[in-house]
Amino acid sequence: MIAGLCWKGKRVLIVGRGAQGERKGAQLEKDGALVDYVDTGFEWQQLDPYDFVYASTDDENVNGQIVDYANAHGLWCASASYNEKASVHFMRSLDLGQLEIGFSTKHGFLMYGQIIEADLEKLYESKWKEKLEVLRLLRPAVKGHKEIMDYLMELSTDRLRTLADFNDKKSGVVCVFHSCRDEDQYEKMHDFCGKDTLVVFMDEPLTRLMEFFSLCGIRVRIVPMLVSKGSVYHKLSAIMERFGYELDGLLLNAHNWKALLHDIDRLDSVFVVHTSRDQALKKEIASYCRNAQVVEYNEAIDWNEGMMRIYPLFMNAGKHVLVDVAKQVEDGRAHGCMVSIPYSCLLDMEKFKEIFDANLSFKNI
């Protein structure tokens, strides 16, 4: 077990006043210890009044004898020449502000510790520093709530920073997506929603997030980034109701669907949608169109001999776009049709961005 010791007011004896003894004594004095020095030719009884003895003679055997004596008389001790029987083993320490690290090469290759120290400093700056700073800001609000603290520690630094901003303002906007494939997709969603918005997913512990908001007195607006009011929407709505929230309606209501599809509703357009019970989503989209075909991602498309444009009406370019819609495109090209995909998903459409921005500016939290 590694432990930090308080040296303030502790009586320390350095046995062997060489360069190493002087250096260790200076370090301990800096930490508040009362340090005395003695060279070789000492009497063993001289060690007895001290709390700690540091053996730093140039004779490894003498250092070993000092360790044995200290252990026999209940004194804490360490040795400049490694001795596994010593009660204290000093480690290389690294104070990085938000993080203090003690480490040792276990006497394997002492000089290599300098390289490890440099690597740890780089890792701290690139990965740990900002996250520790934000966690320190949030800790007073969640102290004593282990489950919420565990949840926060798993979040990325940018999401923690957003939560800290919400806590300062006691308000915020949360956009809930179905899922996220990878970091690139997350960045795309985050850029779309805006840096002041928290992006979360249905496969995350949303209950913990809402408990955090309740604990901190943060009032948020929950925006469902979903295409239809299916099972996922109702599951999200049930979670929000537990915390006294009424979930926003879908961004794409009848009016907004019509506005979104108006300019691309052409005879050479195909709108591809997710499957739904009784093809409800397909029928809804078809009711807004006059010219375009509407198909589910597992259905065949009626191809013509010219150019056709495929519009995947999915929030993100996930598996169904990358695999199923891609198969539909291959099928069209196999039929001799020139097929293009102007947009891979709704987030790529400027018109949908206009709808999103207008919706957020229209309603207050």
Residues of the chain where predicted confidence (pLDDT) is lower than 70: 1, 362-365
**Model pLDDT, residue 86:** 95
Residue 229 near residue 250, CB atoms below 8 Å: yes
DSSP conformation class of 191: H
Backbone angles phi, psi at 309, to 5 degrees: -115, 130
CA separation for the pair 328, 344 (Å, rounded)? 13
pLDDT score, position 134:
95
Question: Which pLDDT belongs to residue 150?
Answer: 96
CB atoms < 10 A from the CB of 314, how many?
A: 22
Cβ distance 204 to 177 under 8 Å?
no
| pLDDT value, residue 304 | 86
pLDDT of residue 364: 53
Q: What is the pTM assigned to this prediction?
A: 0.79
pLDDT for position 363:
54
Decide: 306 and 338 in contact? Cβ < 8 Å. yes
Q: What is the pLDDT of residue 40?
A: 76
Strand-strand pairing, 11-15 and 34-38:
parallel
pLDDT in the model for residue 362: 57
